[in-house]
Amino acid sequence: NAGVTQTPKFQVLKTGQSMTLQCAQDMNHNSMYWYRQDPGMGLRLIYYSASEGTTDKGEVPNGYNVSRLNKREFSLRLESAAPSQTSVYFCASSAGLGETQYFGPGTRLLVL
Amino acid sequence: DQQVKQNSPSLSVQEGRISILNCDYTNSMFDYFLWYKKYPAEGPTFLISISSIKDKNEDGRFTVFLNKSAKHLSLHIVPSQPGDSAVYFCAASAVPGGGNKLTFGTGTQLKVEL
């Protein structure tokens, strides 16, 4: 039982490049989330998906897009990476919007 | 505007003693609070939660206290163990159970020394 998995674990990009962060959960959860963690800032919600087929903006959505591919998978895309997007990105899932969230191991992204 | 504040970035405690981690919040609409624990290179893991209808919740060595009038909560770990060394995040929500509006504090690094 893997829980929440994220790929890649680490990525270096040049400014302007694009990439997609992948997230999958095997807990049959309905809701999924993307957070970023920056030093001294805690975790901030980028986007979330309450259920398959729906996505909504969180606290810091600018510069990102998401796709809820199916119930298991929720991807985060950076169309044109900027140094300000250097961060650690965490995906999480929960049974529903009122339930405990379970986090993946994170993706460390460096934008030069 | 940091609505959930953890003013101590680090805390060092001896093994066997009590660890007390503090969290303050400013949004009076928050009514559900959670603590997460994070080891290096891992994602946060849920530890314990409390709703505003309670002032205390216990789970083994972990107890969370909530003082709504002071907008303050604390996590007590007794006795502290070396494996408790991690970053602890406080989180709050205005939706029961957390939901999509989970607001995190900046974290407190706990080090439990032998």
B98 pLDDT higher than 60: no
pLDDT given for residue A9 in this prediction = 95
Q: Does A53 touch chain B (CB under 8 A)?
A: no
pLDDT given for residue A2 in this prediction = 78
Token pair of B6 as six digits: 């953890």
Strands A10-13 and A107-111: parallel
For A16-52, what is each residue's pLDDT tens digit? 999 999 999 999 999 999 999 998 788 999 999 999 9
Percentage of chain A with pLDDT > 70? 98
For B35-44, what is each residue's pLDDT tens digit? 999 998 899 9
For residue A100, name the pLDDT band (cuts at 50, 70, 90). confident
B10 pLDDT higher than 70: yes
- Mean pLDDT rounded to a whole number for chain B: 92
Q: Of B43, B103, B106, which has the smallest distance from its Cβ to A103's Cβ?
A: B43
Q: How far is A81 from chain B (nearest CA, A)?
A: 23
Peptide bond into B9 cis (omega under 30): no
Average pLDDT over residues B80-86: 97
Token pair of B67 as six digits: 């003082």
pLDDT given for residue A72 in this prediction = 97
A94 contacts in chain B (CB < 8 Å): 98
B72 pLDDT higher than 70: yes
For residue A99, name the pLDDT band (cuts at 50, 70, 90). confident
| SS3 letters across chain A | CCCEEEECCEEEECCCCCEEEEEEECCCCCEEEEEEEECCCEEEEEEEECCCCCCEECCCCCCCEEEECCCCEEEEEECCCCHHHCEEEEEEEECCCCCCCEECCCEEEEEC
pLDDT given for residue B97 in this prediction = 53
A42 contacts in chain B (CB < 8 Å): 2, 4, 89, 103-107
Percentage of chain B with pLDDT > 70? 94
> How far is residue B17's CA from residue B94's CA, in Å, rounded to a whole number?
33
pLDDT given for residue B31 in this prediction = 86
The residue assigned the tokens 């003082």 is: B67
